[in-house]
Structure 1
Amino acid sequence: MSLFRFSRLTGAPIAIVLLVAVSACQRIGHSAEPAVAIPPPAVDEPLSASTSETAVFAGGCFWGVQGVFQHVKGVTKAVSGYAGGGSGNAHYQDVGSGRTGHAESVQVTFDPHQVTYGQLLQIYFSVAHDPTQFNRQGPDVGPQYRSTVFAMNDAQKNVAAEYIAQLDKSGAFARPIVTTIETGKTFYPAERYHQDYLTLNPSEPYIAINDLPKLANLERLFPERWRAQPVLVYAH
């Protein structure tokens, strides 16, 4: 982490920053978390007339979580950022300390007529991360990498709580789910260089080891939800 911060604070060229950006989401000594085939939620949000809704999920390094949701049909935007803390420390160098209350998160904008909130939760728990790891995800350790659903309203809170209880009761995972549900939190977009990171850096070791397998698992387990071309934050 320190190398990445030093490069940013000293204004090093972006090419150099990217060379050490593997430290941004920590080490590469672990392989990707295995995907788990799980049933859909028994309880989902009631369908409304709205064609746009937002959800916020935290599940480790936001590069991979963003990359997964960018490949989901019905998702119109997926933005990496921070949630759980305040506006004054919603910056990468602060969040990386683990003392801000923030978690690396992804704000997902979606059309509920194409993909429901419950279906997004199924992908989140199944392939986007391992919900049984407490305050870590693979090689990344600290509360900023916690598993958290940031519910935008009571309906999302209830669906998420019911689904966690359902999955725990079913024994879908070998260990209990540790995902928390937080409400009333503001989402703050991350710096531009964190956006679309998986798409722009597929050969980077961290991405290749930890995140590309998530895309393969998404296509394998949810072929009806898979979209080959990701919906990106920026035109590149």
Structure 2
Amino acid sequence: MAGPQAGAGALRKTVPATTSSTSPTQSLTALQYAAEEGHPVAQFKLGRMYAAGDGVARDDMRAFDYFSRIANAHAEDSPSAPQAQIVANAFVALGRYYLSGIPNTKVKADPDRAREMFSYAASYFGNADAQYDLARMYLKTADASRDDFRYGARWLGLAAQKGQHQAQALLGQMLFNGDRLPRQPARGLMWLTLARDSAGPDEVWIKESYNRAFAKASDDDRASALQMLESWVQGKRE
């Protein structure tokens, strides 16, 4: 992985400001200019735009290229640098592309490469989304080795503690049901409650998992889960 190639001056540049009178075309041009100058924020914004087809025609290869530029130029930036989370998110985006590949392109499905991307963002940058994706890779196979499961559970717990709601939901499911972990219904319900409160409108699986667990939980489990939830919230405030 290439180290930083942009100088300190380039990192201090800002994306050209836009105003309410700026047209979408002008905004896109400004982003493209900043991206070509090596600004990671602009590169990431363009990568997201092309990945989602947001204001531009969807083009996963162009998105992949922008995310790759960030990863290649900033892999060794300090985890405390202002752009660190953008760099980590670029690694996550690349990992997800490598998981499935991009049809009719040179980017083929490569789980090993995906794991490298997630592992780097999870360990070096401490990125919670990467930790969750890495955990899923370790946990997804029913015949996973004991080491794989241990690694997966560890990354899942780290992501959940950082507030990654999908990790909270999966960990909650596993704890509530005793799925390869010692059954702790109250703690599982606590994690599922946190996940439900942060879930997006399309994340129906999280809300359904919470509803099933709540319906099955005893009154004591519900009361204990509420106490754990209050302690969690208080701990985050302190």
Fold in common (TM above 0.5) = no
Q: Which structure carries more helix by proportion? A: 2
Higher RCO (Cα < 8 Å, 6 or more apart): 1
TM interval, shorter chain, is under 0.3
